[in-house]
């Protein structure tokens, strides 16, 4: 049945587009069919919003076995580009939400979600590939078209090769017109109620024809497939609750660039590649122990495996054979067994006549540090201690690949650099200072000359010259990273979380877990602030939903909570009154800025002169020091484009700076600790550097997609802007600074 579902997904590429029609063939539209469609669609010309319930059913029968998929959705649309198509019931289904700024799609069955810049209009969501499949699944095809232009009726017929009126029929007790729309290579039948205010009641795509086209003209033998989308409870110009457009992924899902891997490279480097190898010190089955530190200047092959794993059993002799070819050439091989008893491993080696060194990962901690999710996973560490190659699985050409890779590494080649090459950013007003290979998903500067980068389950610290320390394991993989100090005069500790998830973990750079906070609502943002000046940071959390703002002490214990603010977007802190007392500043889904004192009391609610999604605080002068009055920086949608606005406590706008691309969306604002500079990241892959005292652009980076950034504030000289391009870290200085 999985194969049939895959065919349905692939078949979605046949959904109607203008490209499927021949310009030489005029559309054959029967007058009565045109009149039915135009009368229905004309109602929506002036409609500003709607709600409708959708029931989607796909029934499949093959060789006498019946199965199918049933999904129920609630759809709400509000011009110009807000949409919520939420799954009420069903597994093979996709939730789609646009809040006007961001476009979110979630496929729980694949444990994935995407978050992109929202299109300018609902019609643009029709898109390509995956978006067509989403429209098919949700029944959106015949809903979003109603909002595609100022002439909904014409839009309904734009890509139709032929429309036939099939007569008046009864459907579920209602009289309906039945119309067949032909768009090669498939047909759609639609049922529209009779009367002065007709409603679309049902649509049925001919999936059999498009599946046959995918299979070379014929369906698989014995396969019958039908699909029906039923619409009910239409509400035109409905009052839609803004909460319906709030984006909140299901806990535990992974953010990806594409739900189904469109545009993703099969050869994309593993997150470990280019990074220092995580520490490894394990007992060896035959006695003694192995420590990766003792294997410097060697090429080290690590194969993570288990005796019960079929692919591992097939791959292990191959890896052993390759390792033996390089005996005496500075190559070491350890088969890292995961959580099995020594007696079972010994019996396995005897049965398969394998004479190899087996390292015992008794708890699975090392496998976790190396990001092992599927086995076998083969990791090759170069002479420099960096991960050069990662293979997951047992491919047919594994022997040839490994032999060449090991030979290249013995010869001194840098395979990681080659794999990560070609990801430098296009810079204006900035100069590249250093690069460090590695695929990192989060960055944070400590304000004291260091930056920490995380990749999957490992982290590494780099200094102002780009020199990295030894990698250490993370307590849990996380998409977001903040730094704080649990103890004065100690290295920065880590705060790990994912947006909209419910767990915040604090750990030391040694890898030791400090504490974990589990919350009832999803986390939106986290910041560290030393309220009392004792060198120990408190932690402030902004929540999605109704949990508001929460402050924890350095040990993770609750200090206070303010629940007057809902759906907190971002949190930060700063000395806004110049009295050395730090205030908490937040934004929320309402678009205003809130200021709280150190005990959580609401001091101010400010109009941000934009729909404030992001907030930051910066020192108000170039020579600012302790006691200098801070200024609030708000960012979000303005009247014509996204805006940056500098605000005083009196809500006066000191300056406003529009984003140069009206269709771009601000996704992050990161302020330097030592200069009034901000790095503004956008959904379209730009990083704008802004001088904050005057509100002007002083530099720009252009990349292929949105990237994490951090400021590396140095004891001497201006700070560096560090960017993770997806393949490497790159540090930039600001021209003339």
SS3 percent helix, strand, coil of the chain, rounded to 5, is: 15, 40, 40
Phi, psi of 269 (to 5 degrees): -65, 145
Tokens of 32: 């009565």
| Dist CA 176 CA 198 (whole Å) | 9
How many other β-carbons are positioned within 10 Å of the β-carbon of residue 564?
A: 12
Contact 644/657 with Cβ under 8 angstroms?
yes
> Quick count: other Cβ atoms within 10 Å of Cβ 373?
11
Strand arrangement, sheet containing 696-702: 426-428, 696-702, 686-691, 677-682, 666-671
DSSP 162-176: EEEEEEEEEETTEEE
Q: Give the CA distances from residue 272 to residues 383, 455, 471, 667, in Å, rounded to whole numbers and listed in that order.
A: 16, 7, 10, 26
Q: How far apart are CA 31 and CA 236, in angstroms?
A: 27
How would DSSP label each residue in 426-474? EEESEEEEEEEE---SEEEE-SSSEEEEEETTEEEEEETT--B---EE-
Where residue 520 falls (left for φ over 0; alpha for ψ -120 to 50; beta otherwise) is: alpha
**Beta strand segments in 653-727, E:** 653-658, 666-671, 677-682, 686-691, 696-702, 709-712, 720-724
Give Cα 653 to chain centroid, integer Å.
Answer: 33
Distance in angstroms (rounded) separating the CA atoms of residues 702 and 257: 18
- The structure tokens listed for 123 are 């019609």
CA nearest neighbour of 642 among 118, 108, 58, 59: 118
Active-site residue among 10, 176, 309, 610? Answer: 309
For residue 312, indicate whether it is catalytic.
Answer: yes
What's the alpha-carbon Rg for the chain, to the nearest Å?
A: 29
Distance CA 135, CA 586 (A): 36
* DSSP output for 559-581: EEEE-SS-SEEEEEEE-SSSSS-
Residue 570: other Cβ atoms inside 10 A: 22
* Structure tokens that stand for 425 in this block: 């950013």
Q: What is the 3-state secondary structure (H, E, C) of 186-246?
A: EEEEEEEECCCCCCEEEEEECHHHHHHHHCCCCCCCCEEEEEEEEEEEEEECCCCCHHHHC
Residue 309 is among the residues annotated as catalytic for this protein: yes
Catalytic residue among 10, 176, 312, 610: 312
Q: Which residues pair with 331 in a beta bridge?
A: 299
Point out the residues that are catalytic: 309, 312
């Amino acid at each position: 049945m999985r194969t049939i579902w895959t065919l349905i997904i692939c078949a979605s590429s046949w959904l109607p587009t203008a490209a499927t029609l021949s310009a030489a063939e005029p559309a054959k539209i029967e007058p009565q069919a045109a009149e039915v469609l135009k009368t229905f669609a004309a109602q929506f010309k002036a409609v500003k919003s709607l709600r409708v319930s959708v029931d989607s059913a796909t029934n499949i029968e093959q060789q006498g076995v019946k199965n199918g998929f049933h999904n129920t959705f609630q759809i709400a649309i509000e011009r110009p580009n807000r949409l919520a198509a939420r799954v009420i019931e069903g597994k093979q289904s996709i939730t789609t939400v646009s809040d006007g700024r961001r476009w979110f799609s979630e496929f729980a069955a694949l444990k994935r979600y995407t978050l992109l810049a929202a299109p300018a209009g609902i019609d643009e969501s029709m898109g390509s590939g995956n978006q067509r499949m989403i429209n098919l699944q949700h029944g959106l095809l015949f809903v979003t078209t109603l909002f595609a232009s100022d002439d909904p009726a014409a839009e309904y017929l734009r890509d139709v090769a032929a429309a036939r009126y099939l007569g008046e029929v009864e459907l579920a007790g209602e009289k309906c017109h039945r119309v067949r729309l032909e768009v090669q290579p498939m047909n759609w039948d639609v049922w529209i109620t009779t009367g002065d205010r007709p409603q679309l009641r049902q649509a049925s795509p001919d999936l059999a024809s498009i599946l046959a086209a995918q299979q070379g003209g014929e369906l698989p033998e014995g396969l019958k497939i039908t699909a029906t989308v039923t619409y009910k409870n239409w509400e035109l110009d409905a009052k839609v609750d803004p909460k319906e457009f709030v984006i909140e992924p299901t806990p535990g899902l992974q953010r990806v660039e594409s739900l189904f891997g469109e545009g993703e490279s099969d050869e994309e480097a593993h997150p470990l590649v280019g990074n220092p190898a995580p520490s490894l010190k394990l007992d060896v089955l035959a006695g003694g122990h192995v420590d990766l530190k003792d294997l410097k200047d060697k090429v080290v092959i690590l194969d993570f495996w288990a005796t019960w794993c079929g692919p591992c059993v097939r791959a292990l002799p191959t890896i052993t054979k390759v390792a033996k070819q390089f005996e005496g050439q500075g190559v070491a091989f350890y088969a890292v067994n995961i959580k099995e008893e020594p007696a079972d491993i010994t019996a396995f080696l005897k049965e398969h006549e394998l004479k190899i060194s087996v390292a015992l990962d008794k708890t699975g901690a090392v496998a976790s540090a190396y990001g092992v999710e599927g086995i076998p996973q083969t990791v090759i560490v170069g002479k420099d201690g960096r991960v050069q190659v990662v293979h997951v699985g047992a491919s047919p050409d594994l022997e040839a690949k490994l032999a060449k890779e090991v030979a290249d590494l013995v010869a001194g080649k840098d395979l990681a650099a080659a794999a990560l090459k070609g990801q430098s950013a296009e810079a204006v007003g900035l100069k590249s200072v250093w690069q460090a290979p590695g695929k990192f998903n989060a960055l944070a500067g400590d304000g004291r000359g260091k930056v920490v980068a995380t990749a999957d389950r490992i982290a590494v610290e780099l200094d102002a010259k780009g020199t990295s320390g030894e990698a250490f394991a993370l307590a849990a993989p996380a998409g977001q990273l903040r730094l704080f100090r649990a103890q004065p005069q100690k290295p920065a500790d880590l705060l790990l979380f994912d947006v909209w998830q419910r767990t915040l973990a604090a750990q030391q750079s040694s890898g030791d877990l400090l504490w974990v906070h589990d919350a009832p609502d999803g986390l939106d943002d986290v910041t560290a602030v030393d309220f009392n000046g004792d060198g120990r940071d408190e932690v402030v959390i902004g929540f999605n939903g109704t949990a508001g703002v929460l402050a924890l002490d350095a040990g993770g214990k609750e200090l206070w909570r303010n629940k007057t603010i809902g759906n907190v977007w971002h949190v930060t802190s700063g000395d806004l009154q110049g009295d050395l007392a730090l205030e908490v500043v937040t934004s929320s889904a309402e678009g205003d800025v809130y200021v709280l004192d150190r005990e959580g009391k609401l001091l101010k609610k400010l109009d941000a002169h934009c729909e404030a999604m992001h907030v930051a605080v910066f020192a108000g002068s170039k020579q600012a020091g302790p006691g200098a009055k801070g200024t609030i920086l708000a960012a979000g949608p303005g009247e014509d484009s996204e805006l940056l606005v500098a605000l005083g406590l009196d809500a006066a706008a000191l300056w406003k700076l529009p984003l140069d691309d009206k269709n771009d969306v601000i996704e992050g604002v990161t302020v330097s600790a030592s200069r009034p500079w901000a790095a503004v990241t956008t959904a379209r892959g730009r990083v704008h550097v802004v001088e904050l005292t005057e509100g002007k652009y002083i530099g720009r980076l252009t990349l292929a997609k949105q990237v994490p950034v951090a400021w590396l504030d140095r004891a001497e000289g201006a700070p560096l802007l560090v960017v993770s391009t997806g393949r490497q870290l790159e540090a930039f200085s600001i021209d003339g600074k």
